[in-house]
Structure 1
Amino acid sequence: MTFVGKQIRMERILNRKTRRTVLVPMDHGISVGPIDGLQDMKTAINSVAAGGANAVVVHKGLVMEGHRGDGPDIGLIIHLSASTSLSPFPNAKTLICTMEEAIKLGADAVSIHVNLGDGLEKDMLRDFGEISYQARTWGMPLLAMIYPRGEKIVDEYDVKYVKHAARLGHEMGADIVKVPYTGTPDSFYEVTSGCAVPVVIAGGAKMDSDRDILEMVKGSVEAGGAGVSIGRNVFQHASPGKIVRAISSIVHDDATVEQALELL
């Protein structure tokens, strides 16, 4: 029954035909406060839902406030770990929500964040292992956000680190792995070819142009990526719904960058 439950939930966040997804993380409030684009959560979620996003990632306290407000239906991923920019250890994520809470709130999936190379990596891996076990037990899809960030990491976009991060997520039992984009399709293929579960890319810092965003998305898909999990470059966009629609056209319809730009 848990296998059937996981299948049903996965269909809420992963397109059955393309096996790809467009996720919009909106979990930034705990880390950095109510930044631009996330002051009004109902409006923010409605706009990306209207654009065709598959799911949003939020913390537990925002589920009743904003999820599936007045707009189209959209998948719900509840984020289980967090840290703040005010901490002396901002990269050390700790669990702040339980699997039981997520299930009671109606989650279609849960997510956890691990920073490899951080001094407290061992604690984050221990938490990851426990959540992975619980996710398997309850048939709950697990999105693992794995970033190479720590004292030993020279460049978090270096393919040798990113492919290690993706493989770790796979071997720890994640159903979808989120990692940084390595910059080129050739280098990102090294990441996807070493990870047998869907790999989505993070959006990173706010980009200067729509073309930059869409070229990154296209490059990742060409390399075997399963879509995106893009936050600031979506919810801080002048037209969040339109940029989601453009991204979705590449992820789900294999549109070119030029075709996607026309949607803007």
Structure 2
Amino acid sequence: MIGKAIRLERIMNRNTGRTVVIPLDHGFSMGQIEGLGDMPKIIADISDGGANAIVLHKGMVKAGHRKHGRDIGLIVHLSASTSLNPDPNDKVMVCTVEEAIALGADAVSVHINLGAPHESKMIEEVGRVSRECTKWGMPLLIMIYPRGEGIDPKSPQAIGHCVRVAEELGADLIKTSYTGDPVSFKKITSACSVPVLIAGGEKAADLESLETVREAITKGGAAGVALGRNSFQRENPKEFIQALCCVVHGNKDPREALKL
């Protein structure tokens, strides 16, 4: 598995064992949303801010990855859906591991909505992707959430189930929702053998976002964050990501990080 180890070094900070990932795949599902109009600029801001990696769909890689700013890890997202679909939780594969390799990816990511009507299809597809990742030595980030009728999306039991499914499928990194409680989240991360990252969700205030991140990492056992809208929709994304990296990698207090 030396290939996975080498590629993961571009995503995980070797000193802290943590990572700051900025997903930029929202345009596929949400259209021309705020913050993703000028892709070369936002990618440059993110890389200059010190993030470890970005997540892009295959067609956007040419829009600016590694053409501006410092080098940054590339995670190519393989699955997608749109908000125009009556069931936006139904994810389908739009890229392959081999395509991602040709694009120079350091990892690939896939999305599963556990509890959604098409859960079985998504699990089956990710099983195939996991097999290909093992074959090619490509790290696999599984983004997995509890989403379905009657399911509490912040339930520790449901989120713990998601994390276990991702681990069982062969994930090298897992992105999921934060329970909002470090005690319940610590129980989840302690029972998992691979790094668990918290998702950002909708945009919140700078200090509130950083305080949540610090709590999830220092008390909840999270290995980092994957913040999309909570980072690229800021008035100054570069400065916010610099503060975010101070919290994740420098163990700074959020107020101090914002001042810096």
Quote the residue 1:215 is aligned against: 211
State the alpha-carbon separation in 2 of the partners of residues 65 and 126 from structure 1: 31
What's 1:195 paired with?
Answer: 192
Do 1:159 and 1:187's aligned partners in 2 also have CA atoms closer than 8 Å? yes
* 2:111 maps to amino acid: H
Q: How does 1:1-264 map to 2 (within 5 A)?
A: 3-153=1-151, 155-207=152-204, 209-222=205-218, 223-263=220-260
1:219 is aligned with what amino acid? Answer: E
Q: Deviations over 1:113-154 (max 9, x none)?
A: 00000010000000111101110111000000001001241x
Counterpart secondary structure, 1:13: coil
What SS does the corresponding residue of 2:110 show, helix, strand or coil?
A: strand
Q: Could you give the per-residue CA deviations for residues 167-210 of structure 1, whole angstroms, max 9, x where no partner exists?
A: 11111100000000111211211221121100000001111x11
* CA-to-aligned-CA distance 1:41-91 (integer Å, 9 cap, x gap): 000100010000000000000111121122111000000000000011210
Tell me if structure 2 keeps the 8 A contact 1:117–1:152. no
How large is the Cα RMSD of the aligned pairs? Answer: 0.9
- State how far apart, in whole Å, the 2-side matches of 1:257 and 1:140 are: 34
**Alignment check: 8 A CA contact 1:119 1:151 kept:** no
Q: CA deviation at 1:258?
A: 2.3
CA distance in 2, matches of 1:217, 1:33: 27
Contact 1:109–1:141 (CA under 8 A) maintained in structure 2: yes
- Counterpart secondary structure, 1:196: coil
Runs of 4+ in structure 1 off by over 3 angstroms are none
Name the amino acid aligned to 1:228: V
The 2-side partners of 1:152 and 1:132 are apart by 29
Figure out how many residues of one structure are paired with residues of the other and give that number.
259
Alpha-carbon offset, residue 262 of structure 1: 1.4
Structure 2 SS opposite 1:72? coil
Q: Secondary structure at the match of 2:9?
A: helix
State whether residues 99 and 135 of structure 1, in contact with CA within 8 Å, keep that contact through their aligned partners in structure 2: yes
Contact kept? 1:115, 1:149, Cα under 8 Å: yes
Q: Distance in 2 between matches of 1:50 and 1:108?
A: 19
Does structure 1 retain, via aligned residues, the 8 Å contact 2:43–2:68? no
More deviation, 137-146/244-253 = 244-253
| In structure 1, C-alpha distance between the alignment counterparts of 2:134 and 2:224, rounded to whole Å | 23
Contact 2:48 2:238 in 1 (8 A): yes
**Structure 2 residues without counterparts, runs of 5 or longer:** none
Q: Secondary structure at the match of 1:48?
A: helix
